[in-house]
Amino acid sequence: MLAYYSRRVHEEFWTEHWGGHSVDELLAVARTSPLTTLITAALPRQGVVLEAGCGLGQYVILLRELGWRAAGVDGSVEALATCRRTAAVPLLAGDLRALAIRDGALAAYVSLGVVEHDPHGPDAILVEAARVLASGGTLVLSVPYLNGARRLGGPWIRRRQAECARSGGSFYQYAFTRAELIAAVRRHGFVPLGAHPYDPARVLRVAARALRGTRRAADREHRGSVASVAPAAEPAASGARPPDTPGGAAARERSAGRRRGWLRALARRALYTQPALRMLGHMLLVVARRA
């Protein structure tokens, strides 16, 4: 496992984190996400599905819309209250290591990006997941993936994280290899059925944001350096091209929009090949059956 530390982690971290998002925003993402396809393909149609660590509850809402008897549990009362203002779905505030749910009550247990935040590892949460799942019940669990890119950068990442910890940073999360996550679920009586990396575009989105920030800073510096020496505007040449008409500009914008859509579709297809997922997948989802 690869440990990450952060100076932003504190008692109210998750309340503040969810406060930066809206239920409608996350629900719109979930409706078209490849992750949703992985989840729904794994879930049984009968029985209760619990999302453990549901946050703002977008998957509880979506699964209920799609016909599942879904409920959610989370440690943030504020996040659950925000969800309830959008949809009247069954929610419970509680600790995932000690759920107020009877033994074997659930047909499926879904937890997306949660167990990695326990500094002692995922075992305590998995013990409780095994208790509340019925025999033959389905576990759908995802964690940050120790993918090819993270393995290549492992020595550098570990040095940076050790520096963060020494300078006062708190534990934030672990990233897992496929073997480590499968071993963890097996330790608690689960039979792995499949492992699926997903969200390979995350690293590209982060890089793009960094590049845009660098470019904006360079543009500001350039504009500042030339502002004082900019020549006076010259009159337009008699043969200059006339300004666009509204109709022409709209047509060009529609054409550019179509091109962007095609490029996004091609990029998604390329990123969701197995080699790209192994190298760039940000998260790893494991589906398992309780023995």
pLDDT of residue 202: 79
Query: What class is the 2-203+276-290 domain?
Result: alpha beta
Residue 262 or 54, more confident:
54
Whole-angstrom distance, CA of residue 287 vs CA of residue 138: 7
* % residues pLDDT > 70 (the chain): 79
3-state secondary structure of 83: helix
- Residue 76's pLDDT band, with cuts at 50, 70 and 90, is very high
Q: How far apart are CA 182 and CA 257, in angstroms?
A: 42
Distances from the Cα of 209 to the Cαs of 22, 213, 272, in angstroms?
Answer: 21, 6, 21
- What would the pLDDT profile of 228-275 be if each residue is shown by its tens digit? 445 555 555 555 555 656 667 777 777 777 777 666 666 667 788 989
For 156-198, write each residue's pLDDT tens digit: 999 999 999 999 999 999 999 999 999 999 999 999 999 999 9
- Enter the pTM of the model: 0.80
